[in-house]
Amino acid sequence: MALPVRCTVKSVFRFIHKSNSHRRLFKAGKATETTSLLKGQVFSGIQPTGVPHLGNYLGALESWVALQNEYSAVMYSIVDLHSITQPQDPHMLRDNILDMAASLLACGIDPTRSILFQQSQVSEHAELSWILGCLTSMPRLRHLPQWKMKSKQKNEGSVGLYTYPVLQAADILLYKSTHVPVGEDQIQHLELAQDLARIFNNQYGEFFPEPCALLSGTRKVKSLRDPSSKMSKSDPQKLATVFLTDTPDDIVLKIRRAVTDFTSEVTYEPESRPGVSNLVSMHAAVSEQSMEEVVRLAEGMDTGQYKNVVAEAIVQKLQPIRLEIQRLRADRGHLESLLAKGAEKARSLAAPVMTEVRKLVGFC
């Protein structure tokens, strides 16, 4: 597959194409407004686990928004089938689906430029997952890192948890996706999708493209209370995570209580000063500046003063998003209608693919 020469995406992406024995690496920078949209099908999904936090936004959602201006075909799915690999309260799950839809819209996902839909409303995902599962070996799944981690935490795991990487592959291949924005921790799961595309094509004839990974250049946001760990929704420490719906007072309190060290100077040294470096990283990301620029701006400040600057920058970035989430949450009917329309568009793309898959497999 030819790689694009120029991109309009704000944050830097690395385009990784894996083809049997080699990979190609490409870094994309900013381009002019006249750059034409790149060809290809972009697909990604997010679980409905409530309102996203700052790490979700800077690590994925901000890039998702930018990709709408970059590619001619973009799809984002709220992957509720994946979410039930863990126990869910049905009423809370439904609320979380709508909250996630509101959050994505508030962040800038535009249904006129991309397809936003709920995974379970398109039954072809489950059907293709079964077919691909029949092409997947148990040892292949057993060695995926997330199965090892999650099954160890519970001492055992469900069949759904074991096979959900196959469903992830089906999500991607169902739309013949060519590009998938993923985090570093999902690369091996995307490689499974690439492998399954090859296995299917070898057995039934050339049909699925091998999807490429789009890795955002944004640094991971760390916990405010433990900068050795990622920021997480499930963190038991309430002051560790900044949510998109936090009020300005909430954000100021959390940043002020962020773990730093006994050195007053502001520097970016992730290994020796992870707490302060986490603040610098967040500040650079929300203000769209380099690490060097924000460190230079902080000259003469101690970390206490700098925390106020960081908090203000985060408030300015998230306040419009918070208010828009509130507005959208108030109209559940609108959110449900939007997801239904998105599902209809997704089905119109999935149905002909599955028709061909059924023929190739021999079902008809």
Question: Are the C-beta atoms of residues 267 and 273 closer than 8 Å to each other?
Answer: yes
What are the φ and ψ backbone dihedral angles of 266, each rounded to 5 degrees? -95, 115
- If 0-12 CB within 10 Å is exposed, 13-18 middle and 19+ buried, where does residue 114 land? buried
Q: Which residues pair with 163 in a beta bridge?
A: none
The upper half-sphere exposure of residue 38, i.e. CA atoms within 13 Å in the direction of its Cβ, equals 24
Does the annotation count 233 as an active-site position?
A: yes
- In 3D space, the residue among 316, 306, 246, 244 whose CA is nearest the CA of residue 277 turns out to be 306
Q: Which H/E stretch holds residue 28? A: strand 22-28
Q: Which residues pair with 16 in a beta bridge?
A: 25, 213
Cα gap 25→61, rounded to integer Å: 22
- Kindly name the residue from 10, 18, 220, 230 that is annotated as catalytic: 230
Cα gap 218→222, rounded to integer Å: 12
- Kindly name the residue from 10, 18, 150, 176 that is annotated as catalytic: 150
Does the annotation count 150 as an active-site position?
A: yes
Does the annotation count 10 as an active-site position?
A: no
The radius of gyration of the chain's CA atoms, rounded to the nearest angstrom, is 21
- Kindly name the residue from 27, 39, 233, 238 that is annotated as catalytic: 233
- In 3D space, the residue among 133, 186, 183 whose CA is nearest the CA of residue 361 turns out to be 133
Helix axes 303-329, 332-361, angle to 10 degrees: 80
Catalytic residues: 150, 230, 233
